[in-house]
Structure 1
Amino acid sequence: SRKKIVFIHGCFWHGHHCPAGSKKPKTNADYWERKIERNVQRDRRSQSALRRGGWSVAVVWECQTRNLEKLERRLRTFLEK
């Protein structure tokens, strides 16, 4: 199937469980925690809707872009299947 989509998510903004994504803001923390949680929920809804529509979905996290060889292998595998 050609119906494939790749999201590139910033670790902080999309609540990834890595050192960058787990970092808590020092100011206005309540606002940012709610904002990030809304982003996470929106991402889940969007990805679920796409999958129900027949799309294959891959999420690449910002921290995963540092190892380009590994990322290339992962994306090739995703796109070729």
Structure 2
Amino acid sequence: MSRVPSRNSAPEICLRQALFAQGLRYRLNAKSLPCKPDIVFPSARLAIFVHGCFWHQHDMCPKARMPKTRTDFWAEKFRRNKNRDTRNIRELREVEWTAVIVWECELKRPNRLAEIVMETATFVRR
């Protein structure tokens, strides 16, 4: 677990590069917000979380499997992660920000990555 980065993960870097290539400029891990989203567009009040399918237990994703050992530990860990995710989104909505979750498996499909970038660009530029 200690080798898994909380920042600058491969899926996060992939999305950041695609956003940057479209001319979108963003902030990373904004400390002024109630939580620390991975990517922030302050002018559009948009926060993007890049979630790993395993760590955040993406529904119906094969990567979101339960380990076969220490299942009590992992079940509690995943429950806490999901609760924290829900709380973070709620806190952002309370301060009138839009929160978006992008899943690791979505970024592996080039068409979906392009869709995410275009949706983000449309939101930021409106």
Q: TM-score, normalised by structure 2?
A: 0.57
Structure 1 residue 79: deviation in Å? Answer: 3.0
Q: Tell me the secondary structure at the aligned position of residue 13 of structure 1.
A: helix
Aligned pairs for 1:15-54 within 5 A: 15-17=57-59, 18-21=61-64, 23-54=65-96
Larger RCO, structures 1/2 (Cα 8 Å, 6+ apart) = 1
Which residue of structure 2 aligns with residue 12 of structure 1? Answer: 54
Q: Is the 8 A contact 2:46 2:97 kept in 1?
A: yes
Give the direction of change, closer, same or farther, for the CA distance of 1:32–1:72 in structure 2 (3 Å limit).
Answer: same
Aligned-partner Cα distance in 1 for 2:88–2:55 = 16
What does the per-residue CA deviation read over 1:9-68, in whole Å, with 9 as the maximum and x for residues that have no partner?
Answer: 0111111111112x1101111100110111001110111010110111100011111122
Decide which of 89, 99, 106 is 1:64's aligned counterpart: 106
Q: CA RMSD in A?
A: 1.5
User: Taking every aligned residue pair, what percent have the same amino acid on both sides?
Assistant: 40
Unaligned runs of 5+ in 2: 1-42
Q: 1:66 to 1:35 in 2, by over 3 A?
A: same
Partner SS state of residue 47, structure 2: strand
Decide which structure has greater helix share. Answer: 1
Q: Distance in 1 between matches of 2:93 and 2:102?
A: 16
